[in-house]
Structure 1
Amino acid sequence: MMKVCVIGTGYVGLVTGVCLSEIGHDVICVDKEELKINMLLENKLPIYEPNLDILLIKNIEKKRLIFSKDIASVIRSQDIIFICVGTPPLSDGSADLRFVEEVAREIGNNLNGYKIIGYYSAYN
């Protein structure tokens, strides 16, 4: 069992976090959007994916899935970090990486040892 942080609770991040908890990992999903975190804390999904609601509730009840807005403490407490934030297109069609860069800086500022860092993106 691994201690995993998923940064971003949009489609990519939330599905990733729920599925990782379903296979037995301890997952903390983090987002700076208070509305999303509050919905998730009430067992409500901010996105639609078939059967995700069932897996969400199951893994919250098994205490394998929790949600937080405190990115700094979550980074320090977990061993694996997945960056799953939006990369909206710029006017020239390239990906806007400012959210990825912001998260990367936050990770760098809070590293307290060896971490595995991964990046998932859906070009939105």
Structure 2
Amino acid sequence: MERVIIFFTLCFSVPCTAKAECNSNHRIAHFFGMRQESDKLLFKVHTTVPYRAMWWVSADVDYTPDENVGITYIELLDQTNSKGGCGEIISGGINKDHVKIKLQSQWYQDIDYIVAIYGKKFSI
């Protein structure tokens, strides 16, 4: 059984430099690592957070499996019709057994991302 926690955060403060860069960086997808033919889909979630009269919204996706895995590839796919947003790995990630990802919208936009995590399951 996987333990998946999604936290939603509404942001009220003036954005810092990294957040301002997100606003001007119209990237619609982020890819981390390298996917191998033998990799399996370990986790996939569609994360949405509606814009609520704030400058921007963010969400954290936390993947911590109960079994032994090695993460090899992570996709963050923005579903908002090229309105963009940012995604970054906060902890864990490639070659680890867990990952925490922060997603952030552009100014005055929703978050609508598909997060897919690939890797290998190991038996002890």
Q: Same fold (TM over 0.5)?
A: no
TM norm structure 2 = 0.25
TM norm structure 1 = 0.25
Highest RCO, 1 vs 2 (Cα 8 Å, sep ≥ 6): 2
Larger Rg: 2
